[in-house]
Every structure is written in structure tokens, then in C-alpha cells.
A and B are shown apart, each in its own frame.
Chain A
Amino acid sequence: MADTNLALPVERSTVAPYKILFLVMAIVLLVAAPWFFYPIFLMKVLCFALFAAAFNLLLGYTGLLSFGHAAFFGGAAYFTSHAVTVWSWRPELGLLFGVAGAAALGLVIGFLAIRRKGIYFGMITLALAQMFYFFCLQAPFTHGEDGIQGVPRGNLFGVIPLGDTLNMYFFVLAVFLIGLFAIYRIVHSPFGMIVKAIRENENRAISLGYSVGAYKLAIFVMSAALTGLAGGAKALVFQFATLNDVTWQMSGEVILMALLGGIGTLIGPLVGATLVVTLQTYLATSVFPVTIVMGLTFMVCVLTFRRGVVGEFYHSRTGRGLTQKDGD
């Protein structure tokens, strides 16, 4: 804390007015949405949007591609379900237990994975997530193939019954907004600046005295914890936790969501998750096979708009006019 304090605050970072307007409009739309769309579908979208945004914290802002995020998503679903079903915890405490479990899992997996870079990092996360999958398959508390069924939603803070779909929707919406705000805060914080610097030039960050391993591990755990928030919320919405959420396909799906929407932007993963979940939901009742359509969508994305939907928009003339020099 040396003599830099005497500096005058020259330029202050400010939030553009259109952004506040956009934010208010988005929240109003989300609040009104359950009267126009099927609430369970909306809650699913919100959970996956938070999942994708938490994943993007790692891929987009830190440059670390994890192939094992399903472990945190599905893991938290199990932890939350177990806490509220077997231990009869209140839903908010169960959710926090899921977050803590996912963070602990992230600490172990991250600790081992950050020692390597690029594809090796990805492979280690994949391998450890697969180990966790087999653990879930065998461990008695997950009930193997059956999963944890009939998870009670309980009463929020002991008073608000979440069995009511509308109450549940607003609870999930609140969780989503809190999670998203946390991501925004982390990205636009002193810590986030260092993480970006590490993404940009790791050796230079080391030569400036930063222990990059510690920063990578910290952001990894944060991403895992926020992923856990999404996973736990999803378990409460659907009232079950299954093996499906810890499979490697789930890790792949979140990569697709983030890429489709645009990595390194705050809104991109939300758009990507909405597109993917919507496609899945509507294709489920049609004759088109879901996986083929998803595969084609991914190919079109990679071939024609590599920055993702939102990324391309920011890059376009209109987008650049709006965003000026701040990335999102």
C-alpha cells in the first residue's frame, strides 16, 4: 500500500445507460414470462443458462477448456437432493450444500488439472469427471441407475411452499440472477483483471510476480461452485437427480451452449443455453432425431459464426457501436 493512493481518480469506469435499460427490460420479461410460457421449461432454461455462464467463466474469461463440468452440475444435483430428501434440509440449505459439494469437488479436480495446459488440462478434467461418474454409479446414496427420486421442494426459509410452481419459478429466477451477478462481479473485479491477464499471457503474468496456479485454481473453484448452484436448482425443479447429469455428454452439451452463444461474453452462454434447451424440448416431440439436429447446429455454428450468436453481434457494426470499448 505505497504512495499510489495520492493519485487522482482520473477516469472512472461507468455503466452505459442503455445497459441499465436492457437489464431492467430483461428482468421485467423474466418476471412476466411464466404467464406466457410453461414454467418448468423456463426454469430448465434458467438452470442451463446459469450452468453455461459458470462454465464460460472458465473457458471465456480464463481460457481453460474443461471437459468435466458435468461432475459439478450432476454432483451438486445429488448433494442437494440427498440433503433435502434424506436429511430433510430446507431447500435453500440443500442448495448451499450442493454448491459447497461442487466447490470441494472443483478444488480436487482443479488442483490436479491446472498443472497442465490446453488439451491435457481438458483430458485430466474429463478423466476425473468420468471417475466421479463411476463413483455415482456405484455409491449407495445415489441409488445408481434409479437416481434420487421424489426430491421434496419443501418450504423456502421454512415458510414459502416451493411446491407451488410460481413460487418455485421466482426462487429459481432469484438464484439465477444472484449467480449471474456473481459472475459479472468476478469478471469485472481486480481479481478478474488478473485472470484475464493470465489468459492473455501467462508467462508475463508470472514475470510480474503472480502465482498463476493459485489464480487458476481459484477461478476453477468459483466456476465449479456456480455450476453447482445451477445443478442443485435443477434437481429441485425436476425433483430428481440422475446419472444423466454427470455423464460426459452433459459436459459436451455445456461446451456447445457456450460456443453457440459466444464465449467470453456475459450474455452469450445465456442465449446459447436457451437455444439448445428450446431445440431439445421441441424436437423431443417431433420426428427429427435430437442429436443429429444438435450436431448440425454445432457444425453450422463453427463454420459460419465462430464467435457465437452474441459474439458475432458484438463484432458487427451495430454491436460495436453499442459496446464501444467495453467487451460486454
Chain B
Amino acid sequence: MKIDVGSPADVHAPDAVPDAAGGTVLSCRGLRRDFGGFIAVNNIDLDVRYGEVHALIGPNGAGKTTVFNLLTKFLQPTKGTIDFLGHDITRMSPSEVARMGLVRSFQISATFPHLTVLENVRVALQRPNGLATQFWRSVSSLDRLNGRANELIDAVGLSDIRHNLAADLSYGRKRVLEIATTLALDPKVLLLDEPMAGMGQEDIGKVSEIIRSVSKRHAVLMVEHNLKVVADLCDRITVLQRGEILAAGNYETIASDARVRSAYMGIDNE
């Protein structure tokens, strides 16, 4: 499948794009979040690089989603700093960082159920194209976004159902629509929270392919449980346990780490 993720549509995005593969796009240092007396995550250092798929894995309750919420500013960190393309975003709001190009997905599928597939993608295109606040214009003024929206819809293989309501789509296709919507913003980093959760094998293959091609021109950070997917897709893996980083590296390093094997995979020895 050939996927053209196109050129930047957001005029407000920072210019400092590290185009060389391996340049750090998003990083955090010493990230910590307390909920009352409970330390949900502590001392998290993370570097997400351009052109790479970075996975965050760990057992349930390890703090993966918390890290996600911290990075995207849906939660405020108790301690630590977050840097995005050379900007300190530690104290910004989630919509501000989204406008800079840090766009997330959610664990449960995040579509606009009573809008059509086309409208879903167009909602993402409206803001960067300055078509979001006009309450005096007809909705047909949005038709000029259809071309770009249809490109994205074609790229993820939803062409035949572009006029269906998102609510009527299968689970796998909702996730795919979500990715198309995210790509519409031409984000610098995609944060995907369990993109394969609850998907059939066939859909997993399709979505993996989409993510792989996307990662060539973006940085991708994903939370994932399916280790086969992680092994196939991810260049770098960070393992969390009880809110702290247990190990980091590529799949081989992780898979041979004794602590990871006992903590996460539940294998003591082979």
C-alpha cells in the first residue's frame, strides 16, 4: 500500500523540523506524576526520534497511559520537563501542543460518531486551513477541503465508505479513520494509545502497514500490548514497570533482558 502523507498544512507549526532520521522530536526528562500520595510515574526519560516507531510497553497499571497523558498535556506533570522540537512545552495546554504538531489518539476509538468519514477528516483540516470559526458561511465552503480529505481517506483504504457515519464503521475501520484524521494535521509526532487493541488479525496487518509508512515522515510513539506487533514494527522500545523505566532499547535488547522477561513476559528462564 502506498501512502502519501503529503505536505504540511499547518502554518502555525514550528519550523525546526529535524529532517534527518534519528533527530529527537519529543523528549522528556525526570517526568513524575503523583495522584494524591500515589506516584503513578516517576523519573521517566524518553526520546522520540524522527523516522522511528517507538513503543511503550509494560504490564497493566505500569503507567503507560499516564505517560501519554503527560506528554500530550492532558495531565500536568508534578515534576520534570517535556521538550518538543526545542520548545519547552511542560506548562502548555493540550490544544496548544496539538496545534504545534503533537497529536494523540485515545485508547478507546476517538472518532466523531455522528459525522461521516469525510466530515471526520475534514474537522481536522478545518483549523489549519482557517475554516473553523466562520459561522456566517455555508458549510459548502468546506468542500474545498474535500480533495485533501479524500486523499487521506484513500490512503487508509476507506474510499468506499467515505459518506458513512463513523458510528456505523467496524472497530478496525474506526481506528483507521482515527489515524487518517490525525494525519490530516500533518503532525510532527503521532502518539497512538493502543492502536491495535481489540482488532482482528487482518486489521492489525493493515494498520501496521499504515503506521510503518507514516513513520518514514513522522515520529511515532505508541502504547502496545501485542508483542508480535511491537517486534515487527517498532525500532525502539521502552519498558515501564510500576511507573518507572525498567529497560529501553531495540527488541533484541529488550527480549534478552532478564528483568523484562520476568516482569513483563512472565518468563523466568527458558
**Residues on A close to B: CB < 8 A?**
1-13, 185-186, 188-194, 196-197, 200-201, 203-212, 218, 222, 325
Contact = CB atoms under 8 A, between A and B. Distances in A.
Contacts of A222: 135
Contact of B147 (A6, A201, A206, A211): A6
Contacts of A5: 144
Contact of A208 (B11, B127, B135): B127
B146 A11 contact: yes
Nearest to B131: A190
A201 B110 CA distance: 7
24 contacts: A2-B7, A2-B9, A3-B9, A4-B129, A7-B144, A9-B146, A10-B146, A12-B140, A189-B139, A190-B134, A190-B135, A190-B141, A191-B132, A194-B123, A194-B126, A197-B115, A203-B106, A207-B94, A208-B127, A208-B181, A209-B127, A209-B128, A210-B95, A211-B93
Most interface-central of A2, A13, A191, A211 (chain B CB within 10 A): A2
A212 B127 CA distance: 12
Interface stretch (B21-29, B97-105, B202-210): B97-105
Given A190-B134, A191-B134, A194-B133, 10 more contacts: A2-B9, A13-B139, A189-B136, A190-B142, A193-B123, A194-B132, A196-B115, A200-B113, A208-B123, A210-B132
Contacts of B145: 4, 7
Nearest to B191: A207
Most interface-central of B95, B105, B113, B141 (chain A CB within 10 A): B95
A191 B131 CA distance: 8
A180 to B, nearest CB: 15
Contacts of B127: 194, 208-210
B112 A200 contact: yes
A1 B11 contact: yes
Nearest to B133: A191
B256 interface: no
Q: Looking at chain B's contact residues, is the secondary structure mostly helix, strand, loop, or mixed? A: loop
A208 B147 contact: no
A200 B127 CA distance: 17
A218 to B, nearest CB: 8
Given A2-B11, A207-B94, A222-B135, A7 B148 contact: yes
Nearest to B94: A206
B87 interface: no
Contacts of A3: 7, 9
Contacts of A10: 143, 146-147, 150
Contact of B95 (A188, A197, A212): A212
Nearest to A3: B7
A191 B133 CA distance: 5
B200 interface: no
Contacts of A212: 95
Nearest to A204: B110
Nearest to B142: A190
Nearest to A213: B95
Contacts of B150: 7, 10
B128 A2 contact: yes
Contacts of A203: 74, 106, 110
Contacts of A206: 74, 94-95, 98
Contact of A209 (B99, B105, B135): B99
A304 to B, nearest CB: 24
B215 interface: no
Contact of A188 (B110, B138, B181): B138
Contacts of A191: 132-135
A205 to B, nearest CB: 8
A311 to B, nearest CB: 14
B91 to A, nearest CB: 16
A9 B144 contact: yes
B22 to A, nearest CB: 27
Contact of B8 (A2, A201, A209, A211): A2
